[in-house]
Amino acid sequence: MKTLLIIDAQNDFIPNGSLPVPNGDQIIPIINKIQDQFDLVIGTQDWHPKDHISFASNHDGKSVFDEIEIHGQPQTLWPNHCVQGTAGAEFHPDLKTEKFEAIFRKGTNKTIDSYSAFYDNGHLKSTGLAGYLKEKGTTQLFLCGLASDICVYFSARDAVKEGFDCFFIEDASKALDKDVFEKLKKEMIAMGIQMVTSTSI
Protein backbone atom coordinates (compact mmCIF):
# COMPACT_ATOMS: atom_id res chain seq x y z
CA MET A 1 0.00 0.00 0.00
CA LYS A 2 1.22 3.48 -0.92
CA THR A 3 0.81 6.04 1.87
CA LEU A 4 1.31 9.80 1.94
CA LEU A 5 2.48 11.31 5.23
CA ILE A 6 1.94 15.09 5.32
CA ILE A 7 3.99 16.58 8.12
CA ASP A 8 3.06 19.75 10.01
CA ALA A 9 1.49 21.83 7.23
CA GLN A 10 0.40 24.28 9.93
CA ASN A 11 -0.11 28.03 10.07
CA ASP A 12 2.81 28.76 12.40
CA PHE A 13 5.23 27.26 9.88
CA ILE A 14 4.15 29.37 6.92
CA PRO A 15 4.97 33.04 6.19
CA ASN A 16 3.45 35.28 8.90
CA GLY A 17 3.48 32.36 11.35
CA SER A 18 5.52 32.41 14.55
CA LEU A 19 8.16 30.04 13.14
CA PRO A 20 7.92 30.61 9.39
CA VAL A 21 9.58 28.28 6.91
CA PRO A 22 10.63 30.31 3.84
CA ASN A 23 8.04 29.83 1.08
CA GLY A 24 6.32 27.19 3.20
CA ASP A 25 2.94 28.09 1.74
CA GLN A 26 4.10 27.17 -1.77
CA ILE A 27 3.89 23.45 -1.06
CA ILE A 28 0.18 23.44 -0.20
CA PRO A 29 -1.18 23.30 -3.79
CA ILE A 30 1.31 20.54 -4.61
CA ILE A 31 0.26 18.47 -1.59
CA ASN A 32 -3.39 18.93 -2.54
CA LYS A 33 -2.73 17.82 -6.10
CA ILE A 34 -0.96 14.56 -5.26
CA GLN A 35 -3.30 13.18 -2.60
CA ASP A 36 -5.44 11.25 -5.08
CA GLN A 37 -2.43 9.15 -6.05
CA PHE A 38 -2.26 7.43 -2.66
CA ASP A 39 -4.18 4.61 -1.00
CA LEU A 40 -3.85 6.24 2.41
CA VAL A 41 -3.26 9.86 3.46
CA ILE A 42 -2.14 10.76 6.98
CA GLY A 43 -1.42 14.15 8.55
CA THR A 44 0.64 15.17 11.56
CA GLN A 45 0.44 18.23 13.77
CA ASP A 46 2.85 19.78 16.21
CA TRP A 47 0.57 20.17 19.24
CA HIS A 48 2.41 21.81 22.12
CA PRO A 49 1.22 22.88 25.56
CA LYS A 50 1.99 26.57 26.16
CA ASP A 51 4.58 25.67 28.80
CA HIS A 52 6.51 23.39 26.45
CA ILE A 53 10.17 22.91 27.30
CA SER A 54 11.32 23.79 23.77
CA PHE A 55 9.96 27.34 23.93
CA ALA A 56 12.61 29.98 24.67
CA SER A 57 9.97 31.96 26.56
CA ASN A 58 9.94 29.22 29.22
CA HIS A 59 13.66 29.61 30.00
CA ASP A 60 14.80 32.72 31.86
CA GLY A 61 17.71 34.48 30.20
CA LYS A 62 17.53 32.40 27.03
CA SER A 63 16.76 33.58 23.51
CA VAL A 64 15.12 32.02 20.49
CA PHE A 65 17.47 29.61 18.69
CA ASP A 66 19.77 29.23 21.72
CA GLU A 67 20.77 25.62 22.30
CA ILE A 68 20.57 23.89 25.67
CA GLU A 69 20.63 20.27 26.81
CA ILE A 70 17.51 18.38 27.88
CA HIS A 71 17.58 14.74 28.99
CA GLY A 72 21.10 14.50 27.60
CA GLN A 73 19.94 15.65 24.16
CA PRO A 74 20.75 18.98 22.46
CA GLN A 75 17.65 21.16 22.30
CA THR A 76 17.12 24.23 20.15
CA LEU A 77 14.90 26.81 21.83
CA TRP A 78 12.10 27.89 19.53
CA PRO A 79 9.60 30.73 19.49
CA ASN A 80 6.23 29.66 20.85
CA HIS A 81 4.54 27.75 18.03
CA CYS A 82 1.69 25.33 17.37
CA VAL A 83 0.25 25.81 20.84
CA GLN A 84 -2.72 23.50 21.41
CA GLY A 85 -6.00 25.06 20.37
CA THR A 86 -4.52 28.16 18.74
CA ALA A 87 -4.90 29.32 15.15
CA GLY A 88 -1.18 28.78 14.61
CA ALA A 89 -1.58 25.07 15.32
CA GLU A 90 -4.31 24.65 12.72
CA PHE A 91 -3.61 23.30 9.25
CA HIS A 92 -3.05 25.86 6.50
CA PRO A 93 -6.56 26.95 5.45
CA ASP A 94 -5.99 25.90 1.82
CA LEU A 95 -4.81 22.40 2.72
CA LYS A 96 -7.33 19.77 1.67
CA THR A 97 -7.83 17.42 4.61
CA GLU A 98 -10.88 15.49 3.44
CA LYS A 99 -8.75 12.49 2.48
CA PHE A 100 -6.89 12.37 5.80
CA GLU A 101 -7.72 9.04 7.38
CA ALA A 102 -5.96 9.96 10.62
CA ILE A 103 -4.06 12.83 12.23
CA PHE A 104 -1.18 12.11 14.58
CA ARG A 105 -0.23 14.81 17.06
CA LYS A 106 3.25 15.16 18.50
CA GLY A 107 5.09 17.33 21.00
CA THR A 108 2.22 17.01 23.46
CA ASN A 109 4.49 16.19 26.41
CA LYS A 110 5.74 19.47 27.85
CA THR A 111 8.99 17.91 29.11
CA ILE A 112 10.46 16.72 25.80
CA ASP A 113 10.38 17.84 22.17
CA SER A 114 9.20 15.65 19.33
CA TYR A 115 10.37 16.32 15.79
CA SER A 116 9.61 12.88 14.37
CA ALA A 117 6.08 11.77 13.57
CA PHE A 118 6.98 8.40 15.13
CA TYR A 119 8.79 9.15 18.41
CA ASP A 120 9.81 11.97 20.71
CA ASN A 121 13.41 13.14 20.46
CA GLY A 122 14.58 10.80 23.19
CA HIS A 123 12.73 7.81 21.69
CA LEU A 124 10.97 7.44 25.04
CA LYS A 125 7.41 7.61 23.74
CA SER A 126 5.87 6.36 20.51
CA THR A 127 3.06 8.21 18.76
CA GLY A 128 1.68 4.87 17.57
CA LEU A 129 2.13 5.84 13.93
CA ALA A 130 4.40 2.93 12.99
CA GLY A 131 1.96 0.36 14.33
CA TYR A 132 -0.95 2.10 12.63
CA LEU A 133 0.79 2.13 9.25
CA LYS A 134 1.81 -1.51 9.54
CA GLU A 135 -1.70 -2.57 10.50
CA LYS A 136 -3.02 -0.69 7.46
CA GLY A 137 -0.58 -2.55 5.24
CA THR A 138 1.66 0.38 4.29
CA THR A 139 4.77 -0.69 2.41
CA GLN A 140 5.75 2.49 0.56
CA LEU A 141 5.76 5.69 2.60
CA PHE A 142 6.00 9.07 0.87
CA LEU A 143 6.85 12.01 3.14
CA CYS A 144 6.41 15.73 2.59
CA GLY A 145 5.69 18.90 4.55
CA LEU A 146 7.43 21.26 6.94
CA ALA A 147 10.21 21.53 7.64
CA SER A 148 12.45 19.33 5.48
CA ASP A 149 15.48 19.75 7.73
CA ILE A 150 13.67 19.10 11.01
CA CYS A 151 10.40 17.22 11.35
CA VAL A 152 10.37 15.67 7.86
CA TYR A 153 14.00 14.56 8.19
CA PHE A 154 13.55 12.98 11.62
CA SER A 155 10.32 11.31 10.53
CA ALA A 156 11.97 9.83 7.45
CA ARG A 157 14.88 8.56 9.52
CA ASP A 158 12.55 6.78 11.93
CA ALA A 159 10.41 5.45 9.09
CA VAL A 160 13.42 3.71 7.57
CA LYS A 161 14.28 2.19 10.95
CA GLU A 162 10.70 0.90 11.15
CA GLY A 163 11.19 -0.93 7.87
CA PHE A 164 9.21 1.19 5.42
CA ASP A 165 10.38 1.93 1.88
CA CYS A 166 10.68 5.71 2.09
CA PHE A 167 10.36 8.43 -0.50
CA PHE A 168 10.91 12.14 0.12
CA ILE A 169 8.85 14.44 -2.12
CA GLU A 170 11.21 17.34 -2.69
CA ASP A 171 8.87 19.90 -4.24
CA ALA A 172 6.17 19.24 -1.62
CA SER A 173 8.52 20.15 1.24
CA LYS A 174 10.48 23.21 2.35
CA ALA A 175 13.42 23.58 4.72
CA LEU A 176 13.86 26.11 7.52
CA ASP A 177 17.58 26.20 6.64
CA LYS A 178 18.37 25.14 3.08
CA ASP A 179 22.11 24.78 3.72
CA VAL A 180 21.52 22.44 6.66
CA PHE A 181 19.10 20.40 4.61
CA GLU A 182 21.59 19.89 1.77
CA LYS A 183 23.81 18.03 4.24
CA LEU A 184 20.90 16.07 5.70
CA LYS A 185 19.74 15.13 2.22
CA LYS A 186 22.99 13.24 1.68
CA GLU A 187 22.35 11.36 4.91
CA MET A 188 18.83 10.51 3.78
CA ILE A 189 20.06 9.14 0.47
CA ALA A 190 22.69 7.08 2.30
CA MET A 191 19.89 5.62 4.46
CA GLY A 192 18.09 4.46 1.32
CA ILE A 193 15.46 7.20 1.19
CA GLN A 194 14.58 7.93 -2.44
CA MET A 195 14.29 11.53 -3.63
CA VAL A 196 11.28 12.10 -5.87
CA THR A 197 9.14 14.96 -7.13
CA SER A 198 5.37 15.29 -7.31
CA THR A 199 5.44 14.64 -11.06
CA SER A 200 7.36 11.37 -10.73
CA ILE A 201 5.13 9.61 -8.19
Can you give the three-state secondary structure of 131-160, one letter per residue?
A: HHHHHHCCCEEEEEEECHHHHHHHHHHHHH
User: How is residue 39 annotated by DSSP?
Assistant: S
Give the torsion sign (CA, 189, 192, 193, 197): positive
- Tell me how far apart the alpha carbons of residues 62 and 78 are, in angstroms, rounded to a whole number: 10
Domain boundaries, the chain: 2-200
Question: 200 falls in which pLDDT band (50, 70, 90)?
Answer: very high
* Residue 106 bears catalytic tag: yes
Q: Catalytic: which of 151, 166, 174, 185?
A: 151
The reported pLDDT for the residue numbered 125 is 87
pLDDT (average), residues 81-104? 98
Q: Catalytic: which of 106, 158, 166, 185?
A: 106
SS3 state of residue 51: coil
Of the CATH numbers 3.40.47.10, 3.40.50.850, 3.40.50.280, 3.40.50.150, which one belongs to the domain with range 2-200? 3.40.50.850
Tens of pLDDT, residue by residue over 19-73, are: 999 999 999 999 999 999 999 999 999 999 999 999 999 999 999 999 999 888 8
pLDDT (average), residues 189-201? 97
DSSP assignment of 83-123:
BTTSGGGSBPTT---TTEEEEEEE--STTS---SSSB-TTS
Contact 1, 137 (CB under 8 A): yes
Question: 91 falls in which pLDDT band (50, 70, 90)?
Answer: very high
Q: Catalytic: which of 8, 46, 113, 149?
A: 8
* Residue 8 bears catalytic tag: yes
To 10 degrees, the CA torsion angle through 155, 166, 22, 94?
A: -90
Tens of pLDDT, residue by residue over 130-184, are: 999 999 999 999 999 999 999 999 999 999 999 999 999 999 999 999 999 999 9
pLDDT (average), residues 79-107? 98
* Residue 12 bears catalytic tag: no
Tell me the whole-structure pTM to 2 decimals: 0.96
- Tell me how far apart the alpha carbons of residues 140 and 157 are, in angstroms, rounded to a whole number: 14
